[in-house]
Amino acid sequence: MDEQDTTRLILLSPEVSQEKFREAVYLKILKEADEEAFREYVEGNPKRKALRERIRKIAQLNVKRIIIPEPEKIAERFISTRKTLKPRHSRDAGRIASLIKTLALLNYSHRRMEKEGDGVVIYASEADIDNAFKLWDEISEPQEYNLSPFLLQFFKKVVEPIAKEKLQNNASVLGATKLEICRRFLEIFGRPLNRVVLERDILPALESSGLISIEPHPEDRRKVVVIPTTIKELDEAVTPPPNVTFLQEHVKNLEKLDEKYHDQRYVTFGGGVNLEDDRVHYLKFTGEAKNERTQG
C-alpha cells in the first residue's frame, strides 16, 4: 500500500493472544453443541443487551452536534508528545477528535446536553479527552511507522531480539537471517511462518518503515541478513570507522611513486591506478587538500 494511502487509514490487525484463541475455541464448541442454547446465551448477555439499548436510544436522540471544549489544550497535548511533526499528524489529530466525540456520544446520559431545534447538542468531558488519548496511545506507535500492530510486534519480538543476542555474544554475523527469523517466530507464536509471506509482505514493509536494513550476508553472498536500524551499537559494529592509519601509509607510498613518475599522469603500477587522483582524494578526505592537482 502506498505511504500516502496508509495515512488515510487506521492500520489494525487481529489479536493473536492465547487467551483470545481459547475463548474462540470455547465459543465455537458451545455453538456447535447446541445452536439454540448458544443463541439464548448470546442474546441474554447483560452487557450486550445494555449496549444494544444504548445504541437504540442514541439513534432516537437526534444529535445535531458534539462540541469539544478548549480545543487549544487538546492540540497542545497532541503536539507536546511528538518530537517532530509529520504531514500525517494532521489526520491523526482528526482521529483523536473523532474518538473524543465517539466517547461523548456513547456516554451521552452522563454528559452536558442542550436542546437545539428538534435535536440536542452534546458537550464532551475531560474524561472523554483522557480516554481518547489512552486509546490512541495503544495504536499510535505502529501508525507512526505505517505498519499494522502485528508487524511492529513481529519486529520487536522476533527480529530485534535476535540481533541484540548476536551483538551481546559477539557473533561473527550480526543481524538475523531468514531461517533464524522463521525459527524464532515458531518458538514465540507456535506456528510456522510462510517464507513467501516473509519475503513478499513482512520484510518489505519493515524496510519501507525504516526499522530494518537488508544487507548481503558477509560470509555467503547468496543470503541476506536483516539488521535492525533501532540498535545504535549494532549500526556501529556493522559500519566500522575508516582505517585512517592504512590510508596514511598508502598515501606515503603514493607520494614516493609520485616523485618517481612526476612527469606521468597515469602509471601501469597496480594495474593502471591513477596515483595523483588517489592522493588528492585522500587529502580531501582528511580536510588537508588545498590545490594539489598537478597541471598536466
Q: Which H or E element spans position 164?
A: helix 160-168
- Residue 296, pLDDT score: 46
**% pLDDT > 90, the chain:** 53
pLDDT higher for 8 or 84? 84
**Ranges of CATH 3.30.420 domains, the chain:** 149-238
Q: Report yes or no: 170 and 119 within 8 Å, Cβ to Cβ.
A: no
Least confident of 154-158, 177-181, 184-188, 253-257: 253-257
- Residue 269, pLDDT score: 41
Residue range 211-227, pLDDT digits in tens: 999 999 888 888 899 99
Per-residue b or e along 57-93, where b marks 16 or more CB atoms closer than 10 Å to that residue's CB: eeeeeebeebebeeeeebeeebeeeeeeeeebbeebb
Classify domain 149-238 at the CATH class level: alpha beta
The pTM of the full predicted model, rounded to 2 decimals, is: 0.67
Q: What is the spatial distance between Cα 289 and Cα 234, in angstroms, rounded to a whole number? A: 33
Q: What is the spatial distance between Cα 188 and Cα 140, in angstroms, rounded to a whole number? A: 24
Q: What is the spatial distance between Cα 235 and Cα 253, in angstroms, rounded to a whole number? A: 33
Mean pLDDT of 136-164: 92
Residue range 89-105, pLDDT digits in tens: 989 999 999 999 999 99
- Residue 175, pLDDT score: 87
Using CA atoms of 216, 220, 224, 227 in order, give the dihedral in degrees to the nearest 10.
-70
State the average pLDDT for the chain. 82
